[in-house]
Amino acid sequence: MTSINRTVLERRIVFLVLAIAVALPLVFPLGLKTQVTPLTEKAYDLVESTPAGSVVLLSFDYDPSTVTELQPMAQAVIEHAWKKGHRIIATAMWPQGSQMADMAFADVQGKFDNSKVYGLDYVNLGYKVGGMVTMQAMGRSMEAVYPKDMSGLDYKDIPMLTGIKSLQNVKYVFSFSAGDPGLTHWIMVAKDKYDIPVAGGTTAVSAPGFLPFVNDQMQLHGLLGGLKAAAEYEFLLGYEGAASLNMNPQSVAHVLILILIAIGNVKAWRKRKSVQQEASKNA
Amino acid sequence: MKRNIPLILAFISGMLVIISEFIPHYPFGLIEETLTGWFMIVSSFAILLGQISLISANINRVVEKSQNWQYYLAGLISFAVMVTVGLLWGMENTPGILGQGASIAAKLGSKPFDYIFEYAYMPLASTMFALLAFYIASAAYRAFIIRNFESNLLMITAVIVILGRTSFATALTSWIPKSLTLLHLPELTDFIMQYPNTAAQRAIMISAALGVIGSSLRIILGIERSYLGGGK
Amino acid sequence: MPEFMAVLGIWLGAFFTLSIFSFLYKDNPFYKLAEQIFVGLSAGYWLIYSIFNVLVPNLITKLFFDFGNNIILLVPLALGIMMLFRIIPSTQWVSRYPIAIVVGTSAAIAMLRTMQTNLLTQVTATMVNPFQFSSPVAIVGTILVILGTICGIYFFYFSKKQEGIYAVPSKIGIWFLMISFGASFGYTVMARISLLIGRLDFLLRDWLHIIK
């Protein structure tokens, strides 16, 4: 077998083993429990400590490619906010986000016997282009940016928005963010310009870059990073949702990746050793 | 005129925004509000422009029957279908030219635009990114090799974090006495993320911020002109 | 009928999922087809949302139903149309005017917000007295943050040849960066696996009904 064929074959074996490692725990869950981290607790506390009746803003800044990580977070935060009696404004800085918001609201409505009323308990203002510039404009006037909601209702005719003249009237911003525009810009505008508490949920890949914002200046009020944090939030709310179940294959796959790293290193070490032996023989 | 007026416009709009930051009162506040409102509308046209150039490039490929033109034709058809159903019946609660399309939605279970989004766009978008899982597994096997002290540091941290962010982490180090909590995998991962990782990410952030400030100033002052494109 | 359409939709979703996954074996017509359909649908999606969520409510409706109070909106409309002149090579220069306004505005806002959030506040957040904490972990951690941040910036910014004692902060900066890259790799693994879980869950639950 040529070395190229061997490499291709090895790669295909790795692919197959990974698919099996993820599929098996999905079919046969291991019942693993997850430990809550302080970052998730902090985000939870922000929602928990906000008084009932507050109008809050959840921004859906992602698309279907990251739905496995961010949708369970969005659902958990919506559920928590509704349990606390918050009224939710949904916005989207990504066009697909407004559809993600509708899906999340529809799923969580089931847990509340469809009792949450559109326009009173939540509203979907939809997508706006412009990222940070648009957020800054929201700080002056929400109605100027969102003259109508997704269904064509005038801003001033939506009952829960009476009294919400600008971004400065919402009690917190929670952004579910898969990149730019997203959480970074909400921190820049909502927190650092208008001093509104901001929390966020991000994909795991971007989570390490947000940690400098978790500081004494409270630029970020907690951070949900990836599927594990979503599972932690579900745990804090006292239920096992999609994220908790998906932590089973997630954990198994992590172990597989570590095994692959170990095998790869042993192989590289043996190769180095044989090259050295060869060199010493020739010398 | 073709180059200098745009440079002056960039300077004026940039300066107005900067002045309104420090003097948010009339008239600067109002000017900034107007400018940011315009920004949104003009940016929408920029998206429109992007779509038009993508579609015209694909039409050219099909007309010229260049390599793989059949696939580009499929792309054009799916674009046309998405735009047509969107314009006719809208999406979610938004009505289209023909209203909400209740009768067709009753047959499909949702509006045609939403149907395509749920059953075609969503699987395509999420699977495209799911492919990366296989490539990262392959990279872990083939390229994540210890070579020197620095790569050792990288490897050790990665191993701790990969293991520390599983549901096994607590059980794996539960035998370590409570007085050494920091050595428990979840706590050790939290420590790495909260301190050394934060330090490095902050260094990157501050360094990049200086770059952003510099390049923004260059744009406003007209030193950086590449965004105007070539030609006179 | 809606039930049938839902089942058909799931089969369609499964077809597209498998078509993309087939790329793992090798490039093939199914993948190419799925890829171009994705590009087409994506472009159509963006266009429809830009029209219905921005242009209609923020421009067209205002001009149509309340022209007198919104006459100023003719300016962004004109700028937007000027933007489209970029398509024709001989009139490309017209699009420079709206681009200049967009770029000037966003550069100024980006500069102001970045300066405050990513520079000034980050410097403030770093300059913490480590000895205000009672826990040894927090004291050591805070010292590490100060040391790592300063050495990291030193590594990035002092491009003069670093030798002897001057090379030490750079070396320490690199160590911190390596730790951070390791952590980022760990989190990237986590993210990518999550995405795969989502797709396999769809195939095994919604399509094959193996998971109940």
Average of per-residue pLDDT values in chain C: 94
SS3 label, residue B129: helix
Q: Which of B18, B33, B44 to mutate to test the interface with C (most CBs of C within 10 A)?
A: B44
Residue B24's pLDDT band (cuts 50, 70, 90): confident
Choose among B95, B121, B163: nearest Cβ to A258. Answer: B163
CA dihedral B9, B15, B18, B20 (to 10 degrees): -90
- Report the distance separating Cα A218 and Cα A45, nearest Å: 13
Residue B7's pLDDT band (cuts 50, 70, 90): very high
Q: What is the mean predicted confidence (pLDDT) over B66-94? A: 95
The more confidently predicted of residues C36 and B181 is C36
A200, β-bridge pairs: A175, A223
C-alpha Rg value of chain C to the nearest Å = 27
C-beta separation of A240 from A234 below 8 A: yes
Nearest CA in chain A to C197: A22
Query: In the prediction, which pLDDT does C191 show?
Result: 96
Q: What is the mean predicted confidence (pLDDT) over B12-39? A: 90
H helices of B90-121, where? 102-108, 112-116
Choose among B113, B130, B136: nearest Cβ to C198. Answer: B130
B99, β-bridge pairs: B96
Choose among A14, A32, A35: nearest Cβ to B186. Answer: A35
Judging contacts by C-beta atoms under 8 Å, the chain B residues touching residue A208 are: 193, 197, 201
Residue A33's pLDDT band (cuts 50, 70, 90): confident
A61, β-bridge pairs: A177
Nearest CA in chain B to C112: B18
Percent of chain B topping pLDDT 70:
99
pLDDT in tens, A58-112: 999 999 999 999 999 999 999 999 999 999 999 999 999 999 999 999 999 999 9
Average of per-residue pLDDT values in chain A: 95
Residue C1's pLDDT band (cuts 50, 70, 90): confident
C-beta separation of C117 from A136 below 8 A: no
- Report the distance separating Cα B138 and Cα B21, nearest Å: 49
Judging contacts by C-beta atoms under 8 Å, the chain B residues touching residue A247 are: 166-167
- Output the 3-class SS for chain C: CHHHHHHHHHHHHHHHHHHHHHHHCCCCHHHHHHHHHHHHHHHHHHHHHHHHHHHHHHHHHHHHHCCHHHHHHHHHHHHHHHHHHHHCHHHHHHHHHHHHHHHHHHHHHHHHHHHHHHHHHHHHHHCCCHHHCCCHHHHHHHHHHHHHHHHHHHHHHCCCCCCHHHHHHHHHHHHHHHHHHHHHHHHHHHHHHHHHHHHHHHHHHHHCCCCC
In this structure, what DSSP letter does residue A60 have? E
Judging contacts by C-beta atoms under 8 Å, the chain C residues touching residue B208 are: 118
- Report the distance separating Cα A51 and Cα A44, nearest Å: 14
pLDDT in tens, C109-132: 999 999 999 999 999 999 999 999
A22–C193: do the CB atoms touch at under 8 Å? yes
Tell me how close the Cα of B14 comes to any Cα of chain C, in angstroms: 5
Q: Which of A183-197, B7-21, B166-180, B182-196 has the lowest mean pLDDT?
A: B166-180
Judging contacts by C-beta atoms under 8 Å, the chain A residues touching residue C62 are: 147
Percent of chain A topping pLDDT 90:
90
CB atoms within 10 A of CB A216: 8
Q: If we measure between CA atoms, which residue out of A148, A71, A86, A72 comes closest to residue A116?
A: A86
Q: Which of C20, C63, C95, C143 to mutate to test the interface with B (most CBs of B within 10 A)?
A: C20
Read off the tokens for C42: 């994506």
Q: Which of C197, C205, C210 to mutate to test the interface with A (most CBs of A within 10 A)?
A: C197
Query: In the prediction, which pLDDT does B231 show?
Result: 62
Tell me how close the Cα of C184 comes to any Cα of chain B, in angstroms: 8
Q: What is the mean predicted confidence (pLDDT) over C34-44? A: 97
- Report the distance separating Cα A233 and Cα A37, nearest Å: 10
CA B48 from chain centre, in angstroms, equals: 18
Residue type, B176: I
pLDDT in tens, A232-256: 999 999 999 999 999 999 999 999 9
pLDDT in tens, C10-33: 999 999 999 999 999 999 999 999
Residue A263's pLDDT band (cuts 50, 70, 90): very high
Query: In the prediction, which pLDDT does A1 show?
Result: 56
CA dihedral C54, C60, C66, C68 (to 10 degrees): 110
- Report the distance separating Cα C36 and Cα B18, nearest Å: 43
Question: Per residue in C92-128, is it b (16+ CB within 10 Å) or e — as a string?
Answer: bbbbbbbbbbbbbbbbbbbbbbbbbbbbebbeebbeb
Count contacts between A and B (CB, < 8 Å): 157
Query: In the prediction, which pLDDT does B232 show?
Result: 57
A133–C198: do the CB atoms touch at under 8 Å? no
- Report the distance separating Cα C212 and Cα C199, nearest Å: 16
A254–C62: do the CB atoms touch at under 8 Å? no
CA C175 from chain centre, in angstroms, equals: 27
Judging contacts by C-beta atoms under 8 Å, the chain A residues touching residue B212 are: none
Q: Which of B111, B206, B225 to mutate to test the interface with C (most CBs of C within 10 A)?
A: B206
Is A141 in the B-facing interface, judged by CB distances under 8 Å? yes
Residue C157's pLDDT band (cuts 50, 70, 90): confident
